[in-house]
Amino acid sequence: MLAEFIQGLMEFHFLQNALITAIVVGTVSGVVGCFIILRGMSLMGDAISHAVLPGVAIAYILNINFFIGAIAFGILSAVIITYIKENSVIKSDTAIGITFSSFLALGIILIGFARTSTDLFHILFGNILAVQDSDKWITIAVAIFVVLAIVLYFKELLLTTFDPQMAKALGTRVNFYHYMLMTLLTLVAVTAMQSVGTILIVALLITPAATAYLFTKTLKTMIFLSAGIGAAVSVVGLFIGYSYNVAVGSSIVLTATVVFLVSFFVSPKQKYIKRRGHDG
């Protein structure tokens, strides 16, 4: 089976594109995902990844690059959620629920109007085996941009994530870094749309990061480990999907889940086994 997959990689350009895209998307999702889970924004990640859908549809209708539409709607959803949360008695999870479901519904209707050859099913669930050269290069460029932004602003992102009170007291523009992260998240969501689809992006964002969180005591090592896990599960998921002819996006997500579950029980930080022993 593995030999067949490797043979396929040698022969088929579409599989080479899929492998490279999977590794790049897995890596960059793992990096951004660390900040998402540490800021307690997993639901926000889910919301933004769903909210890009109407942007993609409008971009198809207007015949412009779908990245532009997706980013505009991703940021718009983040602004709406933050506005509702900060200016009303409505709690964050409620604001997120209302926003992402309405954006998703709007996106599904607009995709119908878009008259595009792009299948709604593939946007929702991904189709990494159909990634074109141009998509691959855009994904690589976006990933480099996102990682570079995180490297350059690492200490500010660390401070605003770990101790936002200290950051505010120093006059740091905490909201700037919040929206910067939302922009990066939107970019990642659009690139990940091709591999796992809009519905499952959040899994690629948070599961590798959550797994890395169980083993690390510094943010840098967490980011490296999370990126590694993201890339590895993407490759394994692609292999399983290709070899057994099942949806690659779902295979990637389930592979990540299995890695998380194993980690959950063996992680020294989690101390699950030890605690169970004491409780017993």
Residue 189 Cβ vs another protein, minimum distance, rounded to whole Å:
24
Whose Cβ is closer to another protein: residue 117's or residue 165's? 165
14: tokens are 């579409």
181: tokens are 């992260």
Whose Cβ is closer to another protein: residue 193's or residue 229's? 229
Interface residue with another protein among 13, 171, 277, 278 (CB under 8 A) is 171
d(CA 52, CA 118): 15
User: Is residue 177 within the footprint of another protein (CB under 8 A)?
Assistant: no
Residue 159 Cβ vs another protein, minimum distance, rounded to whole Å:
6
Interface residue with another protein among 6, 64, 141, 166 (CB under 8 A) is 166
Interface residue with another protein among 112, 145, 163, 266 (CB under 8 A) is 163
The dihedral region occupied by 90, where left means phi > 0, alpha psi between -120 and 50, and beta the remainder, is beta
User: Is residue 222 within the footprint of another protein (CB under 8 A)?
Assistant: yes
Whose Cβ is closer to another protein: residue 158's or residue 259's? 158
Residue 273 Cβ vs another protein, minimum distance, rounded to whole Å:
18
Interface residue with another protein among 20, 159, 180, 259 (CB under 8 A) is 159
Closest among 182, 162, 160, 183 to 170, alpha carbons compared: 160
Helix ranges (H only) for 153-218 are: 154-162, 164-169, 174-195, 197-213
Vertex 110 angle, CA 104 and 113, to 5°? 155
